[in-house]
């Protein structure tokens, strides 16, 4: 890709609202962290605000597994392995940027730590009753730094010199044995187009048995531009819903939408030891990666294509007609997917189709529109670094020692 747009800071505590559309329009401007002061809450209120866990029926899924034995690669800004909610769940990772903020700096590993917490946070304190609990608290996180935070002064340099980091990171994670690849990032600029190296890396991951999950994009009120890597074949592209199961106004609506997951008012941990409330398809992608970890832990022999079909076949709150561009096939239900997976026989990965058999997961764009004709033509251009698709707004609670960040 020629470039990826820089994130813009959100100066609001809630996602934007807009009238419901009846047709697809176009453009995606993603947001990064924005911290607005708020009255602190007590530690015991953090769990009460994690509505996404209940919405995803995690209690039922945890009767079978909590993700033990599964590694989820988080390709992001890095992960704080010392965070009390993640300590012991983070494996040695890889930094494919090599410069920029370091541990202890404010602009380091914020987005990646947030995603890791949604996926595999285990809480802390007596009985681990404090802090954030992830959807797969016994899974391991493999951090791969492929992008810098929006507030990092070196971000522009990274975009210009580390354009292949995402493709390299996917391949590296797969070679380390990652079972799931979480991509809570994307290029959703007006000039976004497929990159041959990234697409090949995704197909490599699928062929090796790794499930690839990506954010659908935060451009719902900015024109719904196509987002990559979400639109690559075989990827589970995730849109966002609120606590009522309603499609979030900011969430991009496109033909590649596979499933939806919580993405509004999501509690996230931060390296500064505060907890924030954020929104974005980044969070939704992380929830689905955690759900996939549960399914793979229960049924390790299933191929990526089988896992993807399981999620779509068992999704709740299915749209009329079975699929739409807002929510895909509905909201992921890992407990139902685990139950249905017990009836499947693991396929031979070499004989199975690694990705989805058709060009698009859904009806695809209208052929007459012309705007997406290049989507299947993977031009050999250099890749770029994606924007982060999560906005954090409200400080909920600060615990532990001061960090100086």
Rg (CA), the chain: 19
- Which residues fall within 8 angstroms of residue 372, CB to CB, at 6 or more apart? 226, 364, 365
Q: Sort strands 274-279 and 266-269 into parallel, antiparallel or unpaired.
A: antiparallel
Whole-angstrom distance, CA of residue 309 vs CA of residue 311: 5
Helix, strand and coil percent figures for the chain, each rounded to 5:
25, 20, 55
Name the helix (H) or strand (E) containing 199.
Answer: helix 196-207
Q: What secondary structure letter does DSSP report for 251?
A: S
Q: Which of 227, 206, 264 is nearest to 51 (CA)?
A: 264
Secondary structure (DSSP) of 330-392: -B--HHHHHHHHTTPPPP-TTTS-SS-SSSSSSS---GGG-TTGGGG--------PPEE--EE
Which one, of 115, 33, 41, 108, lies nearest residue 398 by Cα? 41
Pick the closest to residue 266 from 246, 289, 284 (CA basis). 284
Is there a catalytic annotation at residue 83?
no
User: Rounded to whole angstroms, what are the CA distances from 3 to 127, 139, 188, 352?
Assistant: 46, 33, 10, 34
What is the distance between the alpha carbons of residues 256 and 234, in angstroms, rounded to a whole number?
Answer: 10
Residues sharing a CB contact under 8 Å with residue 20, sequence separation 6 or more, in sequence order: none
Which residue in the list 111, 124, 247, 323 is annotated as catalytic?
Answer: 111
Q: Is 111 in the active site?
A: yes
Catalytic residue among 282, 285, 289, 297: 282
Is 282 marked active-site? Answer: yes
Helix (H) / strand (E) containing 111: helix 110-120
Task: Give the strand pairing for 71-76 and 180-183.
Answer: parallel
Q: How many CA atoms lie within 13 A of 312 on its CB side?
A: 23
In whole angstroms, how far apart are CA 111 and each of 20, 162, 356?
29, 18, 29
Q: Which residues are catalytic?
A: 76, 111, 282
């Amino acid at each position: 890709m020629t470039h990826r747009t820089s994130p813009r800071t959100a100066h609001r505590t809630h996602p934007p609202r807009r009238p419901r559309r009846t047709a697809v329009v176009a453009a995606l401007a993603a947001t990064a962290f924005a911290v607005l002061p708020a009255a602190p809450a007590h530690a015991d209120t953090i769990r009460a605000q994690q509505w996404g866990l209940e919405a995803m029926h995690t209690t039922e899924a945890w009767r079978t597994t909590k993700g033990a034995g599964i590694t989820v690669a988080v390709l992001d800004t890095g992960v704080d392995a010392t965070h009390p909610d993640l300590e012991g769940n983070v494996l040695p990772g890889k930094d494919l940027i090599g410069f920029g903020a370091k541990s202890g700096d404010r602009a380091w590993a914020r987005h990646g730590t947030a995603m890791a917490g949604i996926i595999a946070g285990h809480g802390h304190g007596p009985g681990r009753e404090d802090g954030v609990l992830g959807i797969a608290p016994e899974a391991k996180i493999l951090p791969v730094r492929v992008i810098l935070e929006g507030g990092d002064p070196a971000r522009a340099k990274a975009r210009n010199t580390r354009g292949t980091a995402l493709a390299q990171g996917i391949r590296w994670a797969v070679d380390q044995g990652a079972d799931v690849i979480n991509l809570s990032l994307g290029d959703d600029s007006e000039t976004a187009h497929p990159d041959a190296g990234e697409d090949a890396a995704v197909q490599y991951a699928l062929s090796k048995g790794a499930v690839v999950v990506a954010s659908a994009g935060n451009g719902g009120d900015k024109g719904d531009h196509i987002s990559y890597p979400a639109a690559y074949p075989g990827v589970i592209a995730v849109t966002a819903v609120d606590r009522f199961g309603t499609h979030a106004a900011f969430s991009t609506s496109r033909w590649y939408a596979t499933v939806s997951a919580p993405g509004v008012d999501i509690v996230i941990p931060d390296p500064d030891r505060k907890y924030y409330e954020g929104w974005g398809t980044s969070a939704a992608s992380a929830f689905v990666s955690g759900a996939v970890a549960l399914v793979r832990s229960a049924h390790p022999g299933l191929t990526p294509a089988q896992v993807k079909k399981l999620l779509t076949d068992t999704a709740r709150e299915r749209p009329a007609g079975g699929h739409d561009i807002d929510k895909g096939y509905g909201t992921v239900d890992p407990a139902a997917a685990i139950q249905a997976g017990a009836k499947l026989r693991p396929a031979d990965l070499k004989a199975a189709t690694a990705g989805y058999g058709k060009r698009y997961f859904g009806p695809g764009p209208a052929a007459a529109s012309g705007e997406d004709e290049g989507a299947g033509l993977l031009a050999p251009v250099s890749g770029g670094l994606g924007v982060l698709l999560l906005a954090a707004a409200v400080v909920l609670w600060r615990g532990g020692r001061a960090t100086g960040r």
